[in-house]
Structure formats: structure tokens, C-alpha cells
């Protein structure tokens, strides 16, 4: 039976149900709890990308990351088109791939015209292997190794220089010829940006502006003159831009407005040192809806706010418009993915709580135990069943704190039910571990009723692949 329900709300007594809509146009994925293609199908099961979630679990196993291609592409398009609509200068959206870095995700982002922000040699290698154009790859990191710098130089990506040590290492690396093959684009100098700490910090509802910031990232803006002076004297470096990132899961627009204004002042100062800086990267940070009460601005509203401030500030300083970059992670991918688990044991402690255990936990989603993050879940095979239980969803790890959701309102659960946790696309797989030697789950991408594997489920053999047993320790 197909249930009737108002759009995207939880009726008293029923689970959160996907909104009914004819089109997903103009819906900002970061303001939704479920992927845009989520539906209740004729079997009363949750369907995503035209695939019944319970069938996906049967076919690909459990736990399973399910990535909805349409939601990811829509978010990419909204960022890309927003900059083109509101900013008369050039722009480039980068996907902050630390949110979820794997070949298929990077290939989708790149196909939508996005560049990729990477933070390690491993992420860089994955982006290059996914076929991302090196001109659109930016390497971050507060302690890049010499090898990572060499890989970046040789492959012709832009390096976002974080500190003096890195700047000196980079210059020395280029001087001493450690680099074997300079990428064609590096012949005129390796492209670098400078990361600065703007004294603005923001996470969800906390917004702090200070002169100095307690952050391990970036140059102190008070050193700006010295840094510009040094960089302007390096024949092997082309300083193309400035970068700053002020935080994550941000719900207000003012912090980024302030940031953009501060960055334009830096741009003005660079001119005094003869530097022709043409790119400004305002970082990422737009928040998403994890629970109904979360109310982030839409992608469109966020992009508009930044574009307006940069234009106004440049006009006031009489500066040409820089190429405007941003690098969202969470708001691009979080909502596109859900994690499906299978319910197993449960334990009721009278007058205290009921624990319902699932077959994953902190190893596939470390955010609740690390950041006390909150999530919503539904039982995918009982969408219209009445809510009768308030339970605590426990992971299977040997750790009392391995709790995914406290006080989840669910129908009566039984072993074998499929619990779907929403908005798990960002910082879940990418932060996953093998704690307790649990193999990492598989991931599939779904679209138009088709599901394709994008990450194989790890096997026990995978778990011991890197283990070495010295001869003298063998029994
Ligand atoms: N850029 C930088 C430098 C970051 O450190 C981060 C996240 O930590 C991001 C972009 C992406 O942020 P978000 O996922 O909040 O959009």
C-alpha cells in the first residue's frame, strides 16, 4: 500500500517519510533529510534512485552506503550555476574531497565541472586516477611531506601553501631539482595559493571574530607583508591566489560575508608587493540538515551572499574581480547518501532504555562518537508502521560509547529489519576505520533503478593484507 503523507514531514505517529513531489528542481539538497529521489514504493519500502533499499541490502550486503547520483549532481549544479548566475567574473567550485574521496564520487563531481580539493598524497593520487584535470586540483594540508609536494609539482596541480616551513621546503625542492619531470604548466612556476587564518571562526551557531585564531592551519595575517614579499621574489613560484576556510556546518551567511570582505582587503595589500593575485578561495562550510530542526540556508542563498560581498568590496577598492573559488564538502555530498544497516539483537533495561543493535557503528560512521553528532533514521521496510518505540541505536563495537542515535522514534523493530541512517555522505566513509577489525562496508551509486558498486566490501583477507608475521614469530 502506498501511504499518504504531507511533504517531508513526520506525521504524528509515523516515521519520517520522503516528500512527495513531481520534480526536484530548485530543492537545495542540503535542506533535505533524504536524497531527492527517495520515495515510498508500492511495497511500502524506502526507494532511492529507483532502487528498493531492502533489495539493495539483499544484493550487496549490509551495512551498505547508498549514494544517490541525482542528489549529488544536483548539489554540484546548484553551486556551479549559482556562481555563474550571481558573479560576473570567472568562478570555480571545488569539491572538498575529504568529505568522501573515492574514484566514482570524484568522477561525478568532475563531470559536473567541479575541481577537486585534496589534502594528502592519497587523495591527490585518487583524483588523478579518477581522471580529474590537474588544472582543477588544489592540494591542501598543514604538513605536506616533500613527497607530496613533489607529486603535486610533477602533476601540475595548484599547491595551497599553509606555512613558512612548507614555503621554504617548496622553494628548496624546486631549486635542488628533486622534481624529475616538471609538468608543462609548472614551467612558468609552480602555481601556489596562500592559506591565511582570517580570525573568523564559525561552527553551526558559534561565530567568533578575533585578531588571532587558535588554529593549526594557515599563515597569520599579521605576517602577510613578509609572506607576500618572500613569494614575490621566487622565480619558480606563481602566486595565483589567497585561501581561507572558517569552519564547517555553518548556518549563517554573515561569517562568509565577513570573510569575503577581509579577503578582498588582502587582495588589495598584495598589489603593494607587485603580486598579481587573481584567485580568491573562500573555503567551504555551508551546513546541512541532519535533523528536522536544522535550518541551513540553501546553496543558492549562500553562493549569492558571497558573490555580492566580493563584488561590492572589489568595487570599493577599485579592484578587478578575482576568479572566485569555493570548496564545499558536506553540503555537496552528505544528503546524497544513506547508510543501510541490519537490525540484530536488542536489550531492554526496564525504566532506563532499550538498545537496538545494528551490524555497523563507529567504524563506518565515527561522527557520533567523535563529535556527538546527531542523525535521523527510519526502518526502510516498515515505513508506514506506527511509531511505538523510543530506542537507542547501538553499534556493534566493543565500546560503550558506540551509539549511533539516542532516543530514536521507531516502529517496533525486529532482527532483520533494515535501519537507514540519513545524510551519511560526508565524513563517514572518509573517516571510516577497521576498529575491532570490522571490514569497511560496500558502497553503491544508484540512478534510474540501477545500482553500481563503487566501493567493494572489505574482506577478512583485506584486513590482514598489510600484516607481516616475522618468521621467528610463527607458531
Ligand atoms: N576546505 C577546507 C580547507 C576544509 O578544511 C574543509 C573542511 O574541513 C572544507 C573545505 C570543507 O568543509 P565543509 O565540508 O564544511 O564544506
The CATH number assigned to the domain holding 415 equals 2.40.37.10
In the reported structure, the alpha carbon of residue 1 is separated from the centroid of ligand 1 by a whole-number distance in angstroms of 43
pLDDT top residue among 115 and 25: 115
Average pLDDT over residues 442-459: 98
Q: Which atom of ligand 1 is nearest to the CA of 330?
A: 14
Q: Distance (Å, rounded) from C-alpha 225 to C-alpha 266?
A: 10
Q: Does residue 343 share a domain with residue 245?
A: no
**Structure confidence by residue, pLDDT tens digits, 326-370:** 999 999 999 999 999 999 999 999 999 999 999 999 999 999 999
Q: Distance (Å, rounded) from C-alpha 368 to C-alpha 383?
A: 24
Predicted local distance difference test score (pLDDT) of residue 57: 98
In the reported structure, the alpha carbon of residue 95 is separated from the centroid of ligand 1 by a whole-number distance in angstroms of 9
C-beta separation of 298 from 29 below 8 A: no
CATH code of the domain covering residue 174: 3.20.20.10
The protein residue with its alpha carbon nearest to ligand 1, atom 9, reads 284
Q: Which of these is catalytic: 76, 202, 314, 398?
A: 398
Domain that holds residue 115: 69-333
Q: Does residue 439 share a domain with residue 343?
A: yes
Predicted confidence band at 6 (pLDDT cuts at 50, 70, 90)?
A: very low
Least confident of 33-37, 85-89, 108-112, 181-185: 181-185
C-beta separation of 468 from 474 below 8 A: no
**Number of residues written out for the chain:** 475
Closest CA to 401 of 374, 364, 432, 369: 369
pTM: 0.94
Kindly state if the Cβ of 243 falls inside 6 Å of ligand 1.
no
Q: Distance (Å, rounded) from C-alpha 46 to C-alpha 334?
A: 18
Strand partners of residue 394: 357, 403
Strand partners of residue 115: 94
Q: Which atom of ligand 1 is nearest to the CA of 286?
A: 16
Split into its structural domains, the chain has a count of: 2
C-alpha grid cell, residue 414:
525486529
Kindly state if the Cβ of 425 falls inside 6 Å of ligand 1.
no
Domain-ending residue, one of 283, 316, 333: 333
In the reported structure, the alpha carbon of residue 283 is separated from the centroid of ligand 1 by a whole-number distance in angstroms of 6
Q: Does residue 200 share a domain with residue 63?
A: no
What are the C-alpha distances in Å from 444 to residues 97, 98, 359, 452?
18, 19, 18, 5
Average pLDDT over residues 114-124: 98
Kindly state if the Cβ of 36 falls inside 6 Å of ligand 1.
no
Q: Which atom of ligand 1 is nearest to the CA of 99?
A: 14
Average pLDDT over residues 310-336: 97
Domain-ending residue, one of 300, 333, 366: 333
In the reported structure, the alpha carbon of residue 69 is separated from the centroid of ligand 1 by a whole-number distance in angstroms of 21
Q: Does residue 55 share a domain with residue 79?
A: no
- Expressed in angstroms, the distance from the first to the final Cα of the chain is 60
Predicted confidence band at 11 (pLDDT cuts at 50, 70, 90)?
A: low
The protein residue with its alpha carbon nearest to ligand 1, atom 6, reads 284
Strand partners of residue 447: 450
Q: Does residue 405 share a domain with residue 294?
A: no
Is residue 367, in this structure, part of any structural domain at all? yes
Q: Distance (Å, rounded) from C-alpha 440 to C-alpha 459?
A: 8
Q: Which atom of ligand 1 is nearest to the CA of 248?
A: 15
Q: Does residue 351 share a domain with residue 329?
A: no
SS3 content of the chain, % helix, strand, coil (to 5): 30, 25, 45
In the reported structure, the alpha carbon of residue 99 is separated from the centroid of ligand 1 by a whole-number distance in angstroms of 8
pLDDT top residue among 333 and 252: 333
Neighbour-count burial of 234, counting CB atoms closer than 10 A to its CB (0-12 exposed, 13-18 middle, 19+ buried):
middle
The protein residue with its alpha carbon nearest to ligand 1, atom 10, reads 284
**Reduced to 3 states, what is the DSSP secondary structure of residue 14?**
strand
Is residue 15, in this structure, part of any structural domain at all? no
C-alpha grid cell, residue 317:
577598492
Half-sphere exposure of 119 (CA within 13 A, CB side): 15
Known active-site residue 398: yes
Kindly state if the Cβ of 287 falls inside 6 Å of ligand 1.
no
Strand partners of residue 357: 394
Amino acid at each position: 500500500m502506498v501511504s499518504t503523507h504531507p511533504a517531508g514531514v513526520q506525521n504524528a505517529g509515523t516515521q519520517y517519510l520522503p516528500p512527495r513531489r513531481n520534480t526536484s528542481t530548485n530543492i537545495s539538497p542540503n535542506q533535505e533529510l533524504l536524497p531527492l529521489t527517495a520515495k515510498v514504493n508500492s511495497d511500502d519500502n524506502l526507494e532511492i534512485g529507483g532502487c528498493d533499499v531492502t533489495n539493495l541490502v539483499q544484493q550487496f550486503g549490509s551495512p551498505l552506503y547508498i549514494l544517490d547520483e541525482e542528489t549529488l549532481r544536483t548539489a554540484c549544479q546548484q553551486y556551479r550555476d549559482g556562481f555563474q548566475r550571481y558573479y560576473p567574473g570567472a568562478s570555480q567550485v571545488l569539491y572538498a574531497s575529504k568529505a568522501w574521496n573515492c574514484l566514482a564520487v570524484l568522477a561525478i563531481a568532475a563531470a559536473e565541472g567541479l575541481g577537486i580539493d585534496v589534502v594528502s598524497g592519497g587523495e591527490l593520487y585518487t583524483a588523478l586516477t579518477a581522471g580529474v584535470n590537474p588544472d582543477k586540483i588544489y592540494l591542501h594540508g598543514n604538513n605536506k611531506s616533500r613527497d607530496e609536494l613533489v607529486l603535486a609539482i610533477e602533476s601540475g596541480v595548484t599547491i595551497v601553501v599553509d606555512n613558512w616551513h612548507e614555503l621554504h621546503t617548496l622553494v628548496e625542492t624546486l631549486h635542488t631539482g628533486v622534481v624529475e619531470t616538471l609538468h608543462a604548466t609548472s614551467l612558468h612556476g609552480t602555481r601556489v595559493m596562500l592559506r591565511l587564518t582570517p580570525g573568523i571562526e564559525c561552527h553551526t551557531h558559534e561565530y567568533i571574530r578575533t585578531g588571532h585564531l587558535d588554529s593549526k592551519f594557515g599563515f597569520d595575517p599579521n605576517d602577510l607583508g613578509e609572506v607576500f614579499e618572500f613569494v614575490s621574489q621566487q622565480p619558480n613560484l606563481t602566486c595565483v591566489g589567497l585561501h581561507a576556510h572558517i569552519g564547517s556546518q555553518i548556518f549563517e551567511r554573515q561569517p562568509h560575508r565577513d570573510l569575503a570582505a577581509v579577503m578582498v582587503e588582502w587582495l588589495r595589500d598584495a598589489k603593494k608587493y607587485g603580486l598579481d593575485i587573481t584567485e580568491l578561495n573562500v573555503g567551504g562550510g555551508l551546513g546541512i540538515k541532519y535533523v528536522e530542526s536544522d535550518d541551513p540556508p540553501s546553496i543558492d542563498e549562500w553562493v549569492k551572499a558571497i558573490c555580492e560581498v566580493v563584488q561590492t568590496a572589489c568595487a570599493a577598492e577599485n579592484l578587478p574581480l578575482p576568479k572566485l573559488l569555493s570548496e564545499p564538502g558536506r553540503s555537496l555530498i552528505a544528503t546524497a547518501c544513506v547508510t543501510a544497516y541490519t537490525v540484530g539483537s536488542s536489550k531492554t533495561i526496564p525504566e532506563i532504555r532499550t538498545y537496538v543493535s545494528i551490524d555497523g557503528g563507529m567504524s563506518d560512521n565515527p561522527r557520533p562518537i567523535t563529535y556527538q553528532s546527531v542523525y535521523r533514521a527510519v526502518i526502510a521496510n516498515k515505513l508506514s508502521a506506527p511509531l511505538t518505540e523510543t530506542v537507542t541505536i547501538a553499534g556493534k563495537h566493543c565500546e560503550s560509547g558506540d551509539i549511533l542515535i539516542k532516543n530514536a522514534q521507531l516502529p517496533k523493530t525486529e532482527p532483520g529489519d533494515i535501519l537507514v541512517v540519513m545524510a551519511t555522505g560526508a565524513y563517514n566513509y572518509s573517516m571510516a576505520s577497521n576498529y575491532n577489525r570490522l571490514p569497511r562496508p560496500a558502497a553503491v551509486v544508484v540512478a534510474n533503478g540501477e545500482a553500481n558498486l563503487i566501493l567493494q566490501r572489505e574482506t577478512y583477507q583485506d584486513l590482514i593484507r598489510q600484516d607481516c608475521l616475522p618468521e621467528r614469530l610463527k607458531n
